[in-house]
Amino acid sequence: MTVARLKKLSVVGMASQKPATLEALQDLGCMHVLPLAEIPSEPEKISERGAREAYKALRFLTEVPNPRRQIQRDNNFDMDRFVKDIRNLMQRTRDTIDRRDFLEHRISQVRPWGDLDFPPSDALAGNRLWFYQLPIKHRASLDGIRLPWAVLEQDHRYLYAVLISADEPENDILPVPRTHVGSLPIHKLEAQLEDAEIALESLDAERVAQTRYLTLMRQNLSLAESAAELAHAIQKVRDEEQMFAVQGWVPEEQVDAVLEMAKTQDAAVLIEEPGPDETPPTLLEQPDNRSAAVDLALFYQVPGYRDWDPSVIVSVSFAIFFAMIVADAGYGAVILFGMLLFWRRMDRTVSERSWRRYGLIVAGATVLYGILVGSYFGASPPDGSLWAKLKILDLNNFSAMMMVSIVVGVFHLVLANALAARAAWGQRKAVANLGWIAALIGGFVLWLSYMKGNAPLPGASILAVGVLVIILFSSERVINKPTDWLWRLVEGLQSLAGAMGAFGDVLSYMRLFALGLASASLAITFNDLAVSVMQALKGPGILFGLLILIIGHILNFALAMMSGVVHGLRLNYIEFFKWGLPDEGIVFRPFARKEVQE
């Protein structure tokens, strides 16, 4: 698997051929379109990728608990019109719900004063009624008011008073603000509420009736997505009088197909190589059966166009790290059983088939490492058995397991620097990566010499050579005058600040040993606790012991899965990518039609 090499193509044609040319480009599905026109400043005028409105409409209908019988065939079904109808239904439903909620709130506000029929304004000589919900403790404040007032209702907490005035009273006339009750009596508000609820029931019935088209809608989602993709691409096309121009990145092997398409549309094509200051998108070329590895690698960061493809390395190292963290063959067998249980369900798409194969690899690695450390649900195999002979690692041997973790860490970071040097070969930073490789290996050899009491000279020599190379080749400064040599040396010395980071990154791999030991220790603890309960309580002790075993191992299994995923990915995404993929790229998104969903 590699990063695909791209060419920048500019397609120019007559305005009359613009729709046909764009549709032909969409049929090819090989161009990452670049914007040649200004994006509208108003957010509502920007066409986004993906049929967002269609998915909102689909979600609105799928939330109906009991959908109608599905229509399987309808030659007159128009996806665009249907989505617009459902969006209109959603808006009317939302408006009706808001109206109902408002009426319910208004009725709750008016009810304490009773069902009043408000007199016309001329009946009160131009005066109006102003309502106040006054706490009983403020009853005396009414006596000081010069305006006519009356208490219409009273409960154990409040007085419901009304004042008569032509203009709104001052805010401080009473110690509470006035209550807004509107101009309609309760019986009219309740009539409107009933109408709103009836309308809402009718809308619900219409919504249920539309669920009969759910199957057709799912089958035509690809059409809506393709239309949205086309609208998004059109906004990037530049129009000049009678001409149009569309520009984008195309894989080298697809250039001829674009040229053939351009001939049929009477369009001209300009082909350009990526410039040194340009950042083309990243397209990882891989067989379909490895799509899981690509998904895993791109989950955190997209490699730069001029970097290398980390898919295989990340997928292999994650499986190894996961196995070392779980550190139990029994738990690996549970994962394997789960994969086989859902094997047929994960057969619908190429991606699902790739993920189930990768799941088998992870499960197999976990079982294999569990056999090597001799842990089977926390139990060790009996001495003299075949499984005991296969145990070559002891989790309780702290010095040996620490050595294994550090060896894995050093190898992983050396591999990252080696691949980064290969991708940047011919540049100064490639030599600097080789210097970091020497520094890592030299530091490891020096540590081994110290641990074993050997002479430190070999490790120190390799480390010194690595440090010297880092200082001399880390700076990319161009030499234009004599002082640039000095600044290049200063920048090289500054790069040595990464030495502490390299030391910390290597030590980060100690988590493989620590988490594996914690998982195995918890399993052993639950086993010992269950045995103790069984021996202490005859009869019911068996039941309690089994419960401790089941609950304990389920809890430990869940913790091991979470630790394996989080820290297995973290060592790849943080430590490994830091040294091997320092630059982040842009994912290649082809302008293409979506596949029809069955």
CB 286 within 8 A of CB 294: yes
Share of the chain above pLDDT 70, in %: 97
CA–CA separation, 286 and 292 (whole Å): 10
pLDDT of 44 reads: 47
Q: How far is it, in rounded angstroms, from Cα 367 to Cα 83? A: 50
Q: Name residue 123's beta-bridge partners.
A: none
Residue 502 CA to chain centroid, in angstroms?
29
Residue 544's pLDDT is 87
Collect the ranges in the chain with pLDDT lower than 70.
Answer: 1, 40-50, 121-122, 595-598
Provide the residue type at 430 as one letter: A
Summarize pLDDT for 251-283 with one digit per residue, the tens: 999 999 999 999 999 999 999 999 888 889 999
Neighbours of 146 (CB within 10 A): 7
Report the DSSP pairing between strands 243-251 and 6-14.
Answer: antiparallel
Name residue 54's amino acid.
A
**pLDDT given at position 595:** 63
Q: How far apart are CA 75 and CA 80, in angstroms?
A: 14
Q: Where are the domains of the chain?
A: 1-37+236-281, 48-111+186-227, 119-182, 288-580
Q: So what CATH class is 1-37+236-281?
A: alpha beta
Taking the CA atoms of 50, 51, 57 and 59 in sequence, report the sign of the dihedral they define.
negative
List all residues 6 or more positions away from 231 whose beta carbon is below 8 Å from its beta carbon: 47
Which CA distances in Å does 101 have to 97, 204, 352?
6, 16, 45
Residue 52: what residue type?
A: R
Residue 135: its H or E element: strand 128-135
- Residue-wise pLDDT tens digits, 297-352: 888 888 888 888 898 899 999 999 999 999 999 999 999 999 999 998 888 888 88
Determine the pLDDT at residue 49. 58
